[in-house]
Structure 1
Amino acid sequence: MQSLADIASDYAALLAKGEALAAAEKYWASDIIAFEPAKSEAGDPAIAMGKPAAIARLTRWLETNAMSELLIDGPFVTGDQFALFIDMEIVRRATGERQPFSEIATYTVREGQIVEERFFYG
């Protein structure tokens, strides 16, 4: 089994390459719980329970947004968790509007899979 540091580094590398769906498919547990600060603009709930719901939410977000100038600081590993500081520019696919965006993402790992993800942003 991979170490937490190896999982965190690989996950961050996949995100940095723009492969968020691949990272999710590879590392999210079937019973993952994903927390956003609020309901999404598309009406997705703040909490997605289970891999199918979390993947669906991520897919909808990626269908309407592109990530540009993606910078990831971390991972920062402690206990059974890691955190990433993520800075990017979001490009709205429908309008081309560009918006700077920063967030902190935390992940809890058990038995080599991410079982919880939380995002913090303003």
Structure 2
Amino acid sequence: MTIQEIANRLVELCRKGDFETAHAELFADDCVSIEPDGAPVKEVRGKEGLAAKGKQFMEMMEPHSYEISDPVVADDYFSCSVMMDATFKPTGQRSQSSEIALYEVKNGKIVREEFFYIPNQG
């Protein structure tokens, strides 16, 4: 798959809420996921770590809406903006958030994802 095809497939799966398939199909075994300073988990490594982080996140929130933009591709990278409206179960607080997600692709797999947002903006 080309980087554009990988980017399009990730967006397609995320729009369906099928994050597990996205991780299994598109990410390298030794991928890295980076969150900004102040996030509960700063970095995880590997598909298993990515899956555990995703499961924990989904267990903590009740999503109301989720939007992801079409991808923008440049060299070995692509990015998307993400908007989410969710209630966080531990606090019952509902919040809207937005972020930029940046992905790096090598050898036909996503090797790194990094999210840019302001944590705890409530």
TM-score of the two chains, using structure 2 as the length reference:
0.87
CA distance in 1, matches of 2:9, 2:79: 13
1:115 aligns with 2:114: no
Structure 2: 5+ residue runs without aligned partners? Answer: none
CA offsets per residue over residues 22-54 of structure 1, 9 Å max, x none?
21111111100110003544xx3x011222112
2:62 is matched with 66
Give the 3 Å change call, closer, same or farther, for CA 19–96 of structure 1 in structure 2.
farther
1:20 aligns with 2:19: yes
SS in 1 for 2:104: strand
Structure 1: 5+ residue runs without aligned partners? Answer: none
Amino acid at match of 1:75: P
CA distance in 1, matches of 2:90, 2:32: 29
Q: How does 1:64-103 map to 2 (within 5 A)?
A: 64-94=60-90, 96-103=92-99
CA distance in 2, matches of 1:98, 1:17: 22
Mapped contact 1:18–1:67 kept (Cα < 8 A): no
What is the aligned length? 118
Q: How does 1:2-21 map to 2 (within 5 A)?
A: 2-21=1-20
Amino acid at match of 2:66: L
2:36 is matched with 37
Would you identify which runs of 4 or more consecutive aligned residues in structure 1 move more than 6 Å?
none
